[in-house]
C-alpha cells in the first residue's frame, strides 16, 4: 500500500490485503505496460529539455497509476456520443492509454512543424485531439473546469451515454472556475453527466497545499452540491481502476455529476522551472505496482525490465528522428487564426 499519512482517506474499492489483485491478469499487464511507456516518455521529454532540445518541460510522472485507467475507461471518438476529456498538463498517460502515439509529445517538446497538437506553438504536454474529443490543454490553471460543463450539457441534450471528464490539480481548486464547475454541473433538475476529477499532489509549484486550503477533503466540496464523491489513492492502479470504473458507470447511466479526488505523486517536481529532478520521498506508483505484480506472480522482474527497455529504445529512436525535423516557418504565424468556411 502506498499510504502517506494519517489524514489520507483510504481508497474505497481496493481489495483487502492478500486477496490477489482484484482485476484480471491481461488488464494488469496492459496497464503496467502503458504506465511504463508513459514514464519512459516523460523521462525522455525531461532528457530532451536538459539536452537543449526543448525550452520547457511539464508533465505527469507520478500520475500514471490514475491516468492510465482513466484513458482505458474512456469511450473514444468524436462528438457528443463519445467521452470528452478536458485535461491538464500532466495527462500523457491518459493519452497513451487512449492509443496515442508517443512521437507527437516528442514533436511538441521539440516544437517542430510536425507537432500534431500545435505545430510548434505550445509547450510540451499541451495535447489536443478533436477526433477523440480531447479538448485543448492550456496553461492557465483550472479554466477547463469552467468549460467542461458546456460539453456535458450538449451530451445531456444528445442522449446516449457519452460523458465529460475534467481533470485538474489540487492547488487550482482555489480558483473560482472549480466552484463554477460544481455549480453548473448540479443545477437542480439539470444535473450534468460529468466526472470531475482533482489529482491532488499536495503542491502548487513550491507552495504546500496544507498552508493554503483549510478544506479537510477536496472531494467533500461536492457534497454541498449533492454530488456523489470519492477520494482514492491515485498511486494504486488497481484501486484507481475500480473506483474510476464505478464512477464512469454512475455518470454514464445516471447522467449526474461525480467528484473524485485522487492522491498522486509529483515525481519530478512542478516543471523544468523547478529543475525536473527526482523528488525524494514521493511514492513511485510503478515501483509499487511492480512489487505487487511480482509478488502476485503476474509478471517477473525480467519481463518488466524488458518492457522498460523496449519502450526506452523505441521512444529514444523516435526522439532522434524528431531532432532533425524542421521548425515551423515564420509565415505560419498567420495560419489558422480563424476557421474559414469550406
Which residues form the interface with other proteins (CB under 8 A)? 79-80, 84, 86, 117-119, 121-122, 126, 128-130, 135-136, 138, 140, 143, 145-155, 157-158, 164, 176-177, 180, 183-184, 187, 335-341
Query: Which residue's CB is nearer to other proteins, number 9 or number 79?
Result: 79
Q: How far is the CB of 318 from other proteins (least distance, A)?
A: 20
CB of 182 to other proteins, least distance (A): 10
Q: Return the DSSP state at 260.
A: E
For residue 125, the surrounding DSSP H or E stretch is none
Q: Which is nearer to other proteins, 9 or 136 (CB)?
A: 136
208-218 burial, b if ≥16 CB within 10 A, otherwise e?
ebeeeeeeeeb
CB of residue 98 to other proteins, shortest distance in Å: 16
Residue 169: phi, psi to the nearest 5?
A: -90, 170
Quote the least distance from Cβ 327 to other proteins, whole Å.
14
Instruction: Select 158 or 300, whichever has its Cβ closest to other proteins.
Output: 158
Computed on alpha carbons and rounded to an integer, the radius of gyration of the chain in Å comes to: 20
Other CB atoms within 10 Å distance of the CB of residue 189: 4
Write down the least CB distance from residue 320 to other proteins, Å.
24
Give the DSSP letter of residue 134: B
> Is the sign of the CA dihedral 160, 164, 165, 170 positive or negative?
negative
192 phi and psi angles, rounded to 5 deg: -110, 150
Give 152 or 230: the residue with its C-beta nearer to other proteins: 152
Interaxial angle between packed helices 285-295 and 301-323, expressed in degrees from 0 to 180 and rounded to the nearest 10: 140
CB closer to other proteins, 167 vs 201: 167
Q: How far is the CB of 250 from other proteins (least distance, A)?
A: 21
Q: CA-to-CA distance for 35 and 30, rounded, in angstroms?
A: 9
DSSP state of 165: E
Return the H-helix or E-strand segment holding 233: strand 228-233
Cβ proximity to other proteins: between 41 and 152 the closer is 152
Identify which of residues 119 and 263 has a Cβ nearer to other proteins in the complex: 119
Q: How far is the CB of 226 from other proteins (least distance, A)?
A: 15
* 107 vs 124: CA distance, rounded Å: 9
Element (H, E) at 116: none
CA distance 78 to 95: 15
Amino acid at each position: 500500500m502506498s499510504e502517506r499519512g494519517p489524514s489520507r482517506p483510504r481508497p474505497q474499492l481496493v481489495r483487502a490485503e492478500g486477496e490477489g489483485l482484484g482485476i484480471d491478469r491481461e488488464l494488469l499487464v496492459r496497464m503496467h505496460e502503458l504506465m511504463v511507456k508513459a514514464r519512459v516518455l516523460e523521462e525522455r521529454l525531461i532528457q530532451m529539455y536538459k539536452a537543449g532540445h526543448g525550452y520547457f518541460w511539464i508533465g505527469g510522472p507520478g500520475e500514471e497509476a490514475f491516468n492510465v485507467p482513466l484513458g482505458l475507461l474512456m469511450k473514444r471518438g468524436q462528438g457528443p456520443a463519445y467521452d470528452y476529456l478536458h485535461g491538464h498538463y500532466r495527462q500523457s498517460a491518459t493519452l497513451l492509454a487512449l492509443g496515442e502515439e508517443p512521437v507527437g509529445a516528442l514533436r511538441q517538446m521539440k516544437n517542430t512543424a510536425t507537432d500534431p497538437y500545435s505545430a510548434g506553438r505550445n509547450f510540451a504536454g499541451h495535447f489536443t485531439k478533436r477526433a477523440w474529443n480531447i479538448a485543448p490543454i492550456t496553461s492557465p490553471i483550472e479554466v477547463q473546469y469552467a468549460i467542461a460543463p458546456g460539453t456535458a450539457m450538449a451530451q445531456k441534450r444528445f442522449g446516449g451515454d457519452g460523458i465529460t471528464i475534467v481533470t485538474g490539480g489540487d492547488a487550482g481548486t482555489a480558483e473560482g472556475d472549480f466552484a463554477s464547475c460544481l455549480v453548473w454541473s448540479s443545477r437542480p433538475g439539470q444535473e450534468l453527466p460529468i466526472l470531475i476529477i482533482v489529482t491532488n499532489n499536495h503542491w502548487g509549484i513550491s507552495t504546500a497545499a496544507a498552508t493554503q486550503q483549510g478544506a479537510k477533503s477536496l472531494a467533500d466540496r461536492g457534497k454541498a452540491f449533492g454530488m456523489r464523491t470519492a477520494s482514492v489513492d491515485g498511486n494504486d492502479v488497481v484501486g484507481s481502476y475500480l473506483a474510476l470504473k464505478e464512477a464512469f458507470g454512475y455518470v454514464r447511466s445516471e447522467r449526474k455529476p461525480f467528484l473524485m479526488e485522487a492522491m498522486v505523486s509529483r515525481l519530478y517536481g512542478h516543471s523544468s522551472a523547478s529543475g525536473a529532478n527526482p523528488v525524494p520521498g514521493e511514492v513511485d506508483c510503478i515501483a509499487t505496482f511492480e512489487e505487487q505484480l511480482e509478488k502476485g506472480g503476474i509478471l517477473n522482474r525480467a519481463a518488466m525490465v524488458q518492457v522498460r527497455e523496449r519502450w526506452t529504445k523505441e521512444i529514444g529512436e523516435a526522439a532522434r528522428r524528431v531532432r532533425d525535423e524542421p521548425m515551423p516557418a515564420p509565415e505560419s504565424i498567420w495560419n489558422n487564426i480563424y476557421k474559414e468556411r469550406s
